[in-house]
Structure 1
């Protein structure tokens, strides 16, 4: 667990949150690596943190960083005064000394420590623009401030994975850095956060697109959701901060959903739910919806049923005919799930128009649902050539 930098007397709210997060991290740790600056020497904050770590009772390794010439370095010697054992010299930028540090960490781990279970029933990425309440949403589910929450937009820079069990179901939550438009990424840290957020989408089964309903849905919200949709991920649209809206009646909600689906076509197939991360209202229901979407996108349809529905759709509306003769759909099959993918064989697949493929997708949804998941259709010529 990588924590923010600690200060002795945190004056700013975000510094307080960093301190709380560090204390929580220590409470969950088996070993603590205390990183200090070898160029600056021992500072008052180092002594303060060392005292806190001594009281924790955990094994502590002092890593003295920024000692680029390890062979001649003596800067780490000063840190013996902290009373935390032998300091380990390190040059993190070049990687020098990292092997020795890793060896000490492994040696300090308790023998009874079990490797954390890798499997999860569902992997959920929490995505959205900065400052829409993603970290508050995750913290509400966890019941503790595992992720720093602050009013300054863009506080969360990394994609942080958190495992929890809800009603016997194993959930891995990925709270991503806020996604901005690429043109507005102005520093290296934010750029790295953007890359990690994209990676989080790739690792997820279902993405929760959080939007600040008080500020209103922006085009960037729809673009972020489209990224997840194009990646083939399940998607749930989460309207956070709904408790701050004055008119929250059924007609207002219906109008809100209608406007969203008019502005982004893919949202016609995505469940929309309102919630409040601050009060916790409907937060657990969001996770239930994510499981429902995951179950829908994992569904497999027997080939006989696929062809029955396909024949019914073709009988209702024939494919547009080209100038080279009849265009016929011969048969189809589902070849993959999560997301569902179908292969349809035709005598002339290149003459099937895009709008007719969309008609088939709508028909498949009418038959099997697949709510919250994109459907992919691949056209092939009967001989096997596309």
Structure 2
């Protein structure tokens, strides 16, 4: 009678601890550092672009919102329109006074375009070289209504407004090469003394390219007809809409349809929307860069699997499971992407801080974008490394060991 020989059970395959799994996954990165850096670079560029775009965009929007809040949204402008037959309809001479009698209006002032008046640095310059500078007559209250400021010198007052004195807009001063008062410029065949230079006016950009003279001086020396071509109205904040609704009928009761009423702060709001749209476009480009980086990670992992077939076969022959091989290469892909994500987020934050500081903007770090960027890089790395990891785990030990 034969005795049955019991075969001892095979030992259970050892489980790969988390620490060992991470160490095995990082081995491939340490053994090929240059390839790892170049592969992570694609991820880093995409994440850096996304974080920088969102950070700089948020800083720019905060700066613009602060500017709108500082300048106020209660400024309205009145300009002449056209009649029913398409002819220009000038505003009445007393339009400013009539608007000033509206209850909620806090201040009203005007400028008037002086036709055929050229501005030159000297009388030796060709009159046709205007450089886009416009000569305008201005009321003394213009600067306070616009909440503007002086870069140098003084503003027009009731005394200087009667004499050949001029205040230059910021762009005009730069074009003429003048940054201090006391110099003279040639306007419409006469010398005018520069008494001031304005700071840039965001709500009235037309002033930046103007040479401003007093209302009376424009009439006396430049043949100004006295009709206002742009009226600036500052109203109570809670009554802006009500004031806007009656401005046209008040400025020109005879023909209110030939009056244009605008709100300069709307232009800044439109600029804010435009910047948001541009940021979305750049964000899309950053996402494309991130996807390209994911393709680079997938390519690197496929090459890594092909180069390490013998290592995979040896580990399989020694008892490593397919799942353990898969997790090893998947960990390597995730680590590679995480390295690129962290590096990219750091670069993006640095770019945001440097740019915002140079521009004098508030530094705003988009925490959600940083977190989402790193998380998305890890997710893309996992997706990119899944196929190479599956391919590595399915390699038969004999086939892998026979690879030359």
TM-score (norm 1): 0.21
Answer with 1 or 2: which has the greater Rg.
Answer: 2
Q: Which of the pair is proportionally richer in helix?
A: 2
TM-score (norm 2): 0.20
